[in-house]
């Protein structure tokens, strides 16, 4: 039986909420771990962007890629409003998500 594919578009921020990163993955727990351990050098490691504040899920990889591109083009105010719509306290959702996925 084929495994159902899931894709996630997600937003990370840093401790001060000054920097945002928008990404897409098929394994959010693994990708969040990579961000938090700085396993992949780059933007998130350099700016310590490792707090998951927003995510959405879809079974369609093309829809996920398009949504990621769409959000990346938005002004900061619109991104902030998107986060607040799901996570008004800007909690680290990665803590909850990691526990649910194990």
- Domain residues for the domain of 35 are 7-101
**pLDDT value for 98:** 55
CA 71 remoteness from chain centre: 11
pTM attached to this predicted model = 0.90
**pLDDT at residue 3 in the model:** 64
Give the per-residue pLDDT at 64.
Answer: 98
Within the chain, which residues score under 50 in pLDDT? Answer: 99-102
pLDDT of residue 91: 95
The number of residues making up the chain comes to 102
Q: Which of 77, 89, 99, 101 is nearest to 27 (CA)?
A: 101
Q: Is residue 2 part of a domain?
A: no
What whole-number distance in Å separates Cα of residue 80 and Cα of residue 53? 10
> Distance (Å, rounded) from C-alpha 63 to C-alpha 25?
12
How many domains would you assign to the chain? 1
In a domain, 62, yes or no: yes
């Amino acid at each position: 039986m084929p495994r159902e594919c899931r894709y996630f578009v997600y937003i990370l921020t840093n401790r001060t909420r000054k920097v945002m990163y928008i990404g897409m993955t098929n394994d959010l727990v693994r990708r969040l771990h990579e961000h938090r351990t700085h396993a992949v050098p780059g933007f998130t490691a350099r700016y310590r962007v490792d707090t998951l504040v927003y995510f959405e899920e879809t079974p369609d990889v093309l829809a996920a890629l398009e949504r990621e591109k769409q959000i990346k083009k938005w002004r900061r105010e619109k991104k902030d409003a998107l986060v607040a719509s799901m996570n008004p306290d800007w909690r680290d959702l990665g803590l909850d998500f990691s526990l649910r996925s194990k």
